């Protein structure tokens, strides 16, 4: 019988969580109530108390409560929630999680949900679900459901919403269980990074990898795409990584709007997942309309990709920094990794005769990669452009060579 965790502040939202718990039990599942309140006593008896949750996270609950600081309390319980849920999930004691809350409750519960792996059922019924939920969802598959009315008692609206929420989390758990039964039949997964300027390369390599018996999931290197790919790699579901579009690092370095954060390229390296890396599209930084480009970049080479996106060509100095960063990330690898360099072009528009062609900048990029890369990491240099069939084939076969025979 699956167990669904109900995570919340049971001092203020206990009645509502209790209502959902009874519905979950009526669906034939167990309900595990976790209290993360810090104000008054819980309105329903929890299975895991706030004291136990605080202890697991190393929080002095008595001192926290004595200070009567709501912001500090929310911050502290936002640290406790991930510890509790991660422990329960690792011990296979829960099969899904649901929470109901306003601003504080949503912050606490989603902090916990974000540590859970992709595919693990997570549902947040929130007063904030109709706005920008990026800070709550992150790169995880958290379902945000609008509460419509405030989570402040049971009434004709809240009962209807919470009844459907209970049905939703039960359905998610049941679907997850059914999916797990067929997981053994799935093909091993390879993830790949792609941009419009590397599409031909990735599609050609993808066909080869799929022909070898792998399922290839492609992520658009738009910041959130890179973050999501890194998260999936961290989840342990990925057999190999075709990271030929590392362009997000150019935005991270130069202040473009498609940066993926300072840990981009680290998940495979630290997890020992076989990877192929190429400097795809490190020639470009993404800004919005021309007027959005910082004044310090006046006089640089630009390309109008569309009315909403202006690309800036990275110069030799920036490319040298990017080459060092790429090498340093690859150097973290605990598993097999290969770096491939397309010497004629790292994007469609950096080829000879194209607007971003800059042989000196490319040379600085390649030289920095080779200078800073660990000596035991293979570097394959090919006299072709990144979208040439020869380069795509080399990437695919290099990755296949690092993977266990199928």
Residues 164 and 204 occupy one common structural domain = no
Residues 226 and 322 occupy one common structural domain = yes
At 406 the pLDDT is 62
Residues 77 and 146 occupy one common structural domain = yes
Residues 169 and 200 occupy one common structural domain = no
pTM for this predicted structure:
0.78
CA distances from 151 to 11, 46, 48, 58 (A): 13, 19, 22, 29
At 21 the pLDDT is 98
Last residue of a domain, one of 148, 181, 214: 181
Q: List the CATH number of the domain containing 322.
A: 3.40.50.12030
Measured at the CA of 364, the angle between CA 351 and CA 191, to 5 degrees, comes to 65
Residues 78 and 154 occupy one common structural domain = yes
Averaged pLDDT, 142-159: 94
At 181 the pLDDT is 58
- Note down the domain range covering 367: 186-402
Residues 303 and 158 occupy one common structural domain = no
Domain count, the chain: 2
H-run or E-run covering 367: helix 359-372
Query: Is the model's pLDDT at 370 over the cut of 80?
Result: yes
At 130 the pLDDT is 86
Query: Is the model's pLDDT at 131 over the cut of 90?
Result: no
Query: Is the model's pLDDT at 383 over the cut of 60?
Result: yes
Last residue of a domain, one of 130, 156, 181: 181
Residues 53 and 161 occupy one common structural domain = yes
H-run or E-run covering 322: helix 316-330
Q: List the CATH number of the domain containing 136.
A: 3.40.50.12020
Burial of 316 (0-12, 13-18, 19+ CB in 10 A): middle
Residues 286 and 341 occupy one common structural domain = yes
Residues 252 and 335 occupy one common structural domain = yes
Residues 174 and 213 occupy one common structural domain = no
Rounded CA gap, 17 and 12, in Å? 10
Residues 164 and 261 occupy one common structural domain = no
H-run or E-run covering 20: helix 10-26
Name every residue whose Cβ is closer than 8 Å to that of residue 11 and which is 6 or more positions away in sequence.
Answer: 35, 37, 38, 39, 40, 41, 42, 43
At 45 the pLDDT is 97
Last residue of a domain, one of 181, 200, 232: 181
CA distances from 60 to 45, 46, 84 (A): 21, 19, 16
């Amino acid at each position: 019988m699956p167990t669904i965790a109900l995570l919340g502040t049971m001092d203020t939202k206990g009645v509502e969580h209790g209502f959902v718990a009874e519905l979950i039990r009526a669906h034939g599942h167990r309900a595990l109530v976790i209290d993360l309140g810090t104000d008054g006593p819980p309105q329903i008896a929890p299975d895991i108390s706030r004291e136990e949750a605080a202890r697991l996270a190393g929080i002095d609950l008595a001192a926290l409560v004595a200070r009567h600081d709501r912001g500090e309390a929310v911050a502290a319980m936002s640290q406790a929630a991930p510890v509790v849920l991660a422990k329960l999930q690792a011990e296979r004691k829960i099969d899904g999680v649901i929470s109901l809350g306003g601003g504080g409750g949503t912050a606490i519960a989603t902090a916990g949900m974000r540590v859970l792996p992709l595919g693990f059922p997570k549902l947040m019924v929130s007063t904030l679900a109709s706005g920008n939920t990026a800070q709550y969802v992150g790169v995880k598959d958290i379902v945000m459901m609008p509460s419509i009315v405030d989570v402040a008692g049971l009434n004709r609206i809240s009962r209807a919403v919470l009844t459907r929420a209970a049905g939703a989390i039960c359905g998610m758990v049941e679907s997850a269980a059914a999916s797990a039964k067929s997981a053994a039949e799935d093909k091993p997964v390879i993830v790949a990074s792609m941009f419009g300027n590397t599409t031909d390369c990735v599609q050609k390599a993808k066909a080869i990898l799929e022909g070898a018996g792998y399922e290839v999931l492609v992520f658009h290197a738009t910041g959130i795409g890179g973050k999501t790919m890194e998260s999936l790699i961290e989840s342990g579901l990925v057999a190999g990584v075709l990271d030929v579009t590392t362009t997000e690092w150019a935005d991270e370095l130069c202040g473009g709007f498609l940066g993926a954060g300072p840990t981009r390229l680290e998940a495979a390296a630290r997890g020992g997942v076989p990877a192929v890396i190429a400097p795809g599209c490190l020639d470009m930084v993404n800004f919005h309309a021309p007027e959005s480009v910082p004044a310090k970049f006046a006089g640089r080479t630009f390309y109008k990709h569309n009315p909403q996106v202006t690309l800036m060509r990275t110069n030799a100095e920036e490319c040298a920094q990017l080459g060092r960063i790429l090498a340093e990330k690859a150097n973290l690898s605990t598993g097999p990794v290969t770096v491939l360099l397309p010497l004629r072009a790292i994007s469609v528009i950096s080829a000879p005769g194209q607007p971003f062609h800059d042989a000196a900048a490319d040379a600085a990029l390649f030289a920095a990669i080779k200078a800073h890369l660990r000596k035991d990491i293979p570097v394959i240099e090919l006299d072709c452009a990144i979208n040439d069939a020869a380069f795509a084939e080399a990437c695919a076969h290099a990755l296949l060579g690092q993977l266990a025979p199928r």
